Amino acid sequence: MMQTPNSKSGELTTPLIAQPQEDGLTNDGMIPQIFSSVPALSDAASYLSQTTSYLAGCFSDYSVEHSPIQSGASDIRAQEFVAVSSAETEASTSTNINHICSNRKNLTSVESSSTSTSSPLVMHDEITRISSSDPLQNASTLVVQSNNTGQGGISIFRGLIDRARRTVRGSADDIGWLQHAQGMPPVEDGTERFQEILDEIKHGVHRLPNSMVYLLIPGLFSNHGPLYFVSTKVSFSKLGLACHIAKIHSEASVEKNAREIKEYIEEIYWGSKKRVLLLGHSKGGVDAAAALSLYWPDLKDKVAGLVLAQSPYGGTPIASDLLREGQLGDYVNLRKLTEIVICKVIKGDMRALEDLTYERRREFLEKHRLPEELPVVSFRTEASVSPAVLATLSHVAHAELPMVASAGESTKLPVVMPLGAAMAACAQLLQVRYGEKSDGLVTCRDAEVPGSIVVRPKRKLDHAWMVYSSLNDDLTEGDAAQVCEALLYLLVEVGQKKKHAFAMKDE
């Protein structure tokens, strides 16, 4: 390399005009000098250096290490450009002195094989001098440097691949995890017996005993649904049964609601001296199960059994896909919007939704499981995804009109919302993405509680059907109140059989 002395400083500088080299390559010393003199170009050089180093490192193991002799001048020149850009960027910004010193030390040891080592050189001149000495020696030196860069490139690629995999897979690896977990008892199918009981109820045969109190526990957002379980409570009251709806803050965490449900049970028991049968819908079933798992020593003499209707006992992909990082919702800030709605708009707790994710359900069930002696019935359904259901509307409330009909009775106008269509759309989404049947919010496999009697009706029912009747509902199949009655009587029978089995076991 041709260099000119500086009369004032005595240092060697690189000419701005490229000079021919002995090995046929050109001198690019002008580029680093221009980059260091203009801050904007210096930033661009830094970015270009990092990008080039990253790309070169990704292919370094193949292009340099495996064939160092046949790599040729083009491969060495590519490695020189990476080294020149990286070294010049570090020297111009002066942000990593130790790294520069270590580079000088390494380059000096390699340069000792050259004959011209009498005077100090600028950093990019040192690197250029190395490239003009021994190509094979330079290749072996660059292999070490490129391998370090390659490891970082590979780790970045793996991180991107893992993130893409998490986004595509979603909750596919979590759905139905309860069925494969160790130590979980098997389920028993009680669909046939349930259908027999429901047929008897539709024909006017009611067998629920009045020696117990029935506590209905609503699910998430129940505080904003004024008719949640109201029709069921009215139906039970007409039968002379003591029925209550737990007034809990449904948007609170599972553990907080579990504590409130415990207090409800104790209050009912001490006031009536009757044991309590619980029926929880959706998150209400999870809250009730948590109360019995956490406080069973205090409640075992006060509770006769538990029904979980469409409850995400194992978790739900809706909650997990909303809150898990790396999911599709991240690209539209869906998690942030959900947090605003729950925490700011309806004044709830974000943990109410977090507790329904697969991760939280695993953590909870590993520590707190339902007691073995507790009778449990789980009810899971499948929503219809036919095009006709997408136009289905559901009753939410009734408003009385001021006008009076000819018979002297006030006219009621049903207030409707497209809940059935929303549940059908969600069920179709879960079926397309995961190949799982669901009621629109909870998959069938996640609603089956280990050790319980499972009811799997053939009738297509979505997640909102248990609370709000549909305009297109077939009343000959039984309404929500009759289904709840049949589930609770099935629970009574299960409790009697389990009590007898434990008595025989003790004898």
Query: Using one digit for the tens of pLDDT, what is the confidence trace for 446-468?
Result: 999 999 999 999 999 999 888 77
CATH code of the domain covering residue 374 = 3.40.50.1820
Q: What is the pLDDT of residue 346?
A: 61
Query: Which alpha helices (DSSP H) does 11-134 contain, by range?
Result: 30-37, 39-58, 60, 72-93, 97-111, 123-131
Please say if the pLDDT value at position 285 is more than 90.
Answer: yes
For residues 327 and 166, the answer to whether their CB atoms sit within 8 Å is yes
The pLDDT of residue 68 is 41
Statement: residue 395 has pLDDT above 60: yes
Average of pLDDT values for 436-453? 96
Tokens describing residue 309: 């209707």
Q: Are residues 383 and 456 in the same domain?
A: yes
When pLDDT is cut at 50, 70 and 90, the band that residue 483 belongs to is very high
Q: How far apart are CA 121 and CA 5, in angstroms?
A: 11
Q: What's the pLDDT score for residue 393?
A: 66
Domain containing 450 equals 177-506
Q: Are residues 162 and 58 in the same domain?
A: yes
Using 50, 70 and 90 to split pLDDT, how confident is the model at 500?
Answer: confident
Tell me, yes or no, whether 308 and 181 share the same domain.
yes
Angle 39-58/30-37 helices, nearest 10 degrees? 130
Which stretch of 43-47, 197-201, 419-423, 470-474 has the lowest confidence by average pLDDT?
Answer: 43-47
Give the start-end residues of each E strand in 104-262.
188-189, 212-217, 242-245
Task: Tell me, yes or no, whether 54 and 124 share the same domain.
Answer: yes
**Mind listing the pLDDT tens digit for each residue in 230-248?**
889 999 999 999 999 998 8
Task: Let me know whether 110 and 163 are in one domain.
Answer: yes
Q: What percent of the chain has pLDDT over 70?
A: 57
pLDDT score of 429 more than 80: yes
Instruction: Say which residue, 119 or 473, is predicted with more confidence.
Output: 473
Banded model confidence at residue 106, pLDDT cuts 50, 70, 90: very low
| CB atoms near residue 479 (< 10 Å) | 17
**Token pair of 458, please?**
């053939």
Q: Does 165 lie in the same domain as 181? A: no
194/104 same-domain check = no
| CA-based nearest residue to 24, from 125, 121, 135, 120 | 135
- Smallest CA-to-CA distance from 216 within 171, 162, 155, 276 is with 276
- Provide the domain count of the chain: 2
Q: For residues 434 and 175, is the Cβ–Cβ distance under 8 A?
A: yes
Question: Residue 324: its pLDDT value, please?
Answer: 76
Q: Is the same domain home to 211 and 159?
A: no
CA angle 352, 286, 354 (to 5 degrees): 25
User: Tell me, what's the pLDDT at 336?
Assistant: 72
Do 211 and 121 share a structural domain? no
| Selected residue with higher pLDDT from 312 and 506 | 312
The whole-number pLDDT of residue 9 equals 42
The pLDDT value recorded for residue 417 is: 66
Of 17-26, 203-212, 213-222, which has the strongest mean pLDDT?
Answer: 203-212
Compute the mean pLDDT over every residue in the chain, rounded to the nearest whole number: 73
Evaluate if residue 445 carries a pLDDT over 80: yes
Clarify whether residues 293 and 148 are in a common domain. no
End-of-domain residue from the set 112, 135, 169: 169
DSSP symbol at 307? E
More confident residue, 172 or 14: 172
Render pLDDT for 36-67 as a digit per residue (tens, 0 to 9).
444 554 555 565 556 555 555 554 444 334 44
Burial (Cβ within 10 Å: 0-12, 13-18, ≥19) of residue 108: exposed
Residue 370's pLDDT is: 95
Q: Which of 146, 169, 192 is the last residue of a domain?
A: 169
- Angle between the N-to-C axes of helices 97-111 and 72-93, in degrees from 0 to 180, rounded to the nearest 10: 140
| pLDDT above 60 for 304 | yes
Mean predicted confidence (pLDDT) in 13-41: 44
Which residue among 131, 153, 169 closes a domain? 169
Only one residue has tokens 């450009």, namely 81
pTM for the predicted model, two decimal places: 0.66
Beta bridge partners of 280: 217, 308
Domain match, 155 and 190 both: no
Residues 248 and 307 in one domain: yes
Distance, in Å, from the CA atom of 98 to the CA atom of 110, rounded to the nearest integer, reads 19
Reply yes or no on whether the pLDDT at 356 is more than 80: yes
pLDDT value for 167: 73
Share of the chain above pLDDT 90, in %: 40
